[in-house]
Amino acid sequence: MSADLRPDLLLADLHLQVAKAGATPEASFLSEAFLRFCAGPAREARRVFLLGDIFESWVGDDLGLADYRQEIAALRALSDSGVEVLYQTGNRDFMLGRRFAQASGAHRLPDEWVTPLAGQATLLAHGDQYCTDDIGYQRWRRFSRLPLAQWLYLRLSPARRRRIAGGLREGKRDKPASIMDVNAEAIAQAFTRHGVTRMIHGHTHRPMQHMHTVQGRACERIVLADWRRGHIEWLRANVDSWHREIL
Ligand SMILES: [Mn+2]
């Protein structure tokens, strides 16, 4: 049997918005771009990695499956076509649950995941866990991942859940840019903890290729771009190289 030469595609921070009557042009632009991606370039991949914040807001599977019906159907068609769809959750869509996985056919990965990619073991993450200078956020992150906190949240009314999610988005706007980026020490520790020399993450919306030296070893950190009007991007990892594809 010949080797599988299909590429892996990686994307993050699509921030897909709920498409409904009166939706902003931005919302439908992103949604249409995602549907085109799923029906087009993604079909040639071996694996598609969604590294978090696929959805601008996910307030529970009961509401999300209806809010994002088209996007989930597109993921289902993609996974049914034989492409492995894998995802991590971000700070916006960490409430993605089992019913999302069942409906989409996508498989959830832990918050840090090492996999062979473009010829070397690569650590994948959303990236918010490395923003350790934002102490308030890290405290919130720990709390919001507690099963009891999530259980209680899901018992609130839909309107209340949406209000809380909206309030959290607003609160983030006043923070200084410096604490919104990753912390160098947290990054070094992640390279060391997983024994890898390459990592790929999103979250910061600062697409870049960074070189780090960690315990004498050269390490590469690739930051994925967020999606916005006029800039749709994913990373294509081939057998032994990678590049960004930008629409
Ligand atoms: Mn994020």
State the pLDDT at residue 179.
82
Give residue 180's pLDDT band: very low, low, confident or very high (50, 70, 90): confident
Expressed in angstroms and rounded, the spacing between residue 233 Cα and the centre of ligand 1 is 16
* CATH number given to 8-246: 3.60.21.10
Mean pLDDT of 57-85: 97
DSSP string computed for 100-128: HHHHH--EE--SEEEEEETTEEEEEE-SG
Expressed in angstroms and rounded, the spacing between residue 245 Cα and the centre of ligand 1 is 21
Expressed in angstroms and rounded, the spacing between residue 52 Cα and the centre of ligand 1 is 7
Expressed in angstroms and rounded, the spacing between residue 1 Cα and the centre of ligand 1 is 40
State the pLDDT at residue 95.
97
Expressed in angstroms and rounded, the spacing between residue 73 Cα and the centre of ligand 1 is 23
State the pLDDT at residue 2.
60
Three-point CA angle 63, 107, 59, nearest 5°: 20
What is the value of pTM for the model shown?
0.95
Expressed in angstroms and rounded, the spacing between residue 13 Cα and the centre of ligand 1 is 6
Q: Give yes or no for residue 19 having a pLDDT over 80.
A: no
Expressed in angstroms and rounded, the spacing between residue 115 Cα and the centre of ligand 1 is 21
Domain boundaries in the chain?
A: 8-246
Q: In this predicted model, what pLDDT tens digit does every residue of 87-128 receive, in sequence order?
A: 999 999 999 999 999 999 999 999 999 999 999 999 999 999
Q: In this predicted model, what pLDDT tens digit does every residue of 124-167 receive, in sequence order?
A: 999 999 999 999 999 999 999 999 999 999 999 999 999 999 98
Expressed in angstroms and rounded, the spacing between residue 80 Cα and the centre of ligand 1 is 28
Expressed in angstroms and rounded, the spacing between residue 94 Cα and the centre of ligand 1 is 10
Expressed in angstroms and rounded, the spacing between residue 240 Cα and the centre of ligand 1 is 28
Expressed in angstroms and rounded, the spacing between residue 127 Cα and the centre of ligand 1 is 7
Give residue 18's pLDDT band: very low, low, confident or very high (50, 70, 90): confident
**Residue list, CB under 5 A from ion ligand 1:** 53, 90-91, 203
Expressed in angstroms and rounded, the spacing between residue 62 Cα and the centre of ligand 1 is 22
**What does DSSP say about strands 112-117 and 107-108: parallel, antiparallel, or unpaired?**
unpaired
State the pLDDT at residue 171.
72
Contact 121, 114 (CB under 8 A): yes
Expressed in angstroms and rounded, the spacing between residue 128 Cα and the centre of ligand 1 is 6
Mean pLDDT of 157-181: 86
Residue 41 DSSP class: G
Q: How far apart are CA 13 and CA 50, in angstroms?
A: 9
